[in-house]
Structure 1
């Protein structure tokens, strides 16, 4: 007998607009209101025991049962606990609001535990008859939810974002994937993080052999944004209020010699700063020669790699600032 329900699964197509519309209204990420519909009977009597909450309270991803495997040869009816697991998972899906975390975990519990076996022959038949979603999309959500849960405890990562984080998890490990998501979120500031932002961040990561520690992801992304290799992560250009030409001319005339003297003082001070920086740079260059790096790597390879990475990062940042100043001067002279 059909138990078809409505479940608005987000599209698998990744786009900025889709990400912008992922959350709305009064939705609290990571929480799903349980209704009493479909969760009563034998399963409903153990829901409080399984989740630590009754059916009227919000359900978090941590309250869903841990996925477990049931062999295909098992044909026995569901046990009381299995009925409770099915009730909890279906209520999580029934209250699903475009979060891959809760829906993906619920689907995995139902699939691996074969909790559909009393009413449907296969998981695919269950998906089609009860939830009207495709097998491919269900399995994408199952694969994505652990990444989303690791990246954000409150579950505010959608399917498209989790899809971009999954290769990072597989190649660099969970800590690096979490660090990448959180750093992108910090760099974006008040702007919403999209799947495209995460894809750009993932593209600038060095090979795994060059990333000695997961926390180096922060420096990599910061430098990439500063150098223009990750423009989506760069801070927005400050809005400078336009000044009327008449006011500007009057202001310039009023400054006169005082303004020129100030500019000369600032310029002389800037030259002194650059000369001091150059002297320090030469000193650093002399200090890191003569086998210092090789000895450091031999003594503590992890710490040595980290320090080498930091030195290169700050050298790149200095080069970027010098290049930016030079380009700005050329543009002003043009």
Structure 2
């Protein structure tokens, strides 16, 4: 049977304001609503209009997880398929050739995509990783997570794997007092190596400058080409470490320590101890290498 979206859409324009000749937006879709299983009669004009606009949206569902997910939820909860199909699953299979699991993933994803849309569009995989954050921590935390991951990634593309890694280092919901804490949690996790995908990228040396420097070093006669490459990698490693140290210094300023000790004294004291320990270890390691260098001269 021909989908309703392919039929004339005069009722769509009158009920929803949607122009079926153009892509349907989320705002043009009706709010999802429930219809009891006992309702078996034909669709009324309002429902038929909803079915038309939802199916029009689904024609381009591969381009928009937001629109398709919301359209599917409207059809499912409103049982707008009941004139032609006994169940939602049969409707999905017959009309759209969509598996039930895929449809429900899109239904779960669209509220997340809408929440983060002011920051940027996301795909189904990214929305799937943000879904549990929205459910367990709330919308503000989910938006904060996506925003901070996007900022920490810089010019690098944000992937579902990045969001999964960020979600994995979040503390339990009861320990995340404010969404603003998400940034601190992710920054510290990146610095500690628990979220390496969020760490600053290694700085790139311009190709010409690198070639000239390598040629100069190799021309000394007492430095091998392998040592030149190792030295370049070491410089990049130290620059990345310095960038992380600066981030840590900026993040633990102000009243961070006082607030942490008030919120969770034991955890706050442990984190202070660890931060001091690693600061001392880093300083000792740098002094030790300097002493070794001086002893060798």
Report the TM-score range of the alignment, normalised by the length of the smaller protein. Answer: 0.7 to 0.9
CA distance, structure 1, for counterparts of residue 66 and residue 270 of structure 2: 38
Structure 1 residues 313 and 83, CA gap change in structure 2 (3 angstroms): farther
TM-score between the two structures when normalised by the length of structure 2: 0.73
Residue 48 (structure 1) aligned with residue 13 (structure 2): yes
| 8 A contact 2:12–2:53 mirrored in 1 | yes
1:197 alignment counterpart = 162
Q: Give 1:312 deviation, angstroms.
A: 8.4
Q: Which has the higher helix share?
A: 2
SS at match of 2:112: helix
Residue 33 of structure 2 is aligned to residue 88 of structure 1 = no
- Residue 217 of structure 1 corresponds to which residue in structure 2? 182
Question: Runs ≥4 in structure 1, deviation > 4 angstroms?
Answer: 247-250, 306-334
Call closer, same or farther: CA 1:319–1:249 in 2, change over 3 Å.
farther
State the match for 1:157 in structure 2: 122
From the superposition, tell whether residues 330 and 228 of structure 1 become closer, same or farther in structure 2 (CA, over 3 Å).
Answer: farther
| Shift in CA distance, 244/54, structure 1 to aligned 2, threshold 3 Å | same
Q: Which residue of 2 aligns with 1:143?
A: 108
Q: Which residue of 2 aligns with 1:9?
A: none
Per-residue CA shift, 1:152-187, capped at 9, x if unaligned?
Answer: 347722222122112212221221111111111111
Structure with the greater relative contact order (CA < 8 A, sep ≥ 6): 1 or 2? 1
TM-score by length of 1: 0.65
**Runs of at least 5 residues in structure 2 that lack an aligned partner in the other structure:** 221-248
Aligned counterparts of 2:87 and 2:114: Cα–Cα separation in 1 = 27
Kept after mapping to 2: 8 A contact 1:50/1:65: no
For 2:5, the equivalent position in structure 1 comes to 38
Alpha-carbon spacing, 1:160–1:68, altered in 2? closer, same or farther (3 Å)? same
Q: Which of 285, 305, 314 in structure 1 is aligned with 2:263? A: 305
Q: Equivalent of 1:244, from 210, 214, 224?
A: 214
CA spacing shift, 1:155–1:227, aligned 2, 3 Å: closer
**Matching residue of 2:225:** none
Deviations 1:85-135 (A, max 9, x none): 111111111012343211111000001111111111111110000001111
The change in CA–CA distance for 1:62 and 1:320 in structure 2 (over 3 A counts) is: farther
Task: Please give the alpha-carbon distance, in whole angstroms, between the structure 2 residues aligned to 1:155 and 1:63.
Answer: 20
Q: CA deviation at 1:321?
A: 5.2
Is the 1:152–1:178 contact (alpha carbons within 8 Å) kept by the matching residues of 2? no
User: Does 2:9 match 1:59?
Assistant: no
Q: Which residue of 2 aligns with 1:97?
A: 62
Tell which deviates more after alignment, 159-168 or 313-322: 313-322
Deviations 1:234-267 (A, max 9, x none): 11100134213536988xxxxxxxxxxxxxxxxx
Identify the residue that residue 239 of structure 2 maps to in structure 1. none
| Cα deviation 1:257-280 (Å, max 9, x = unaligned) | xxxxxxxxxxxxxxxxxxxx9xxx
Q: 2:119·2:147 contact (CA, 8 Å) conserved in 1? A: no
CA RMSD, Structure 1 to Structure 2 (Å): 3.6
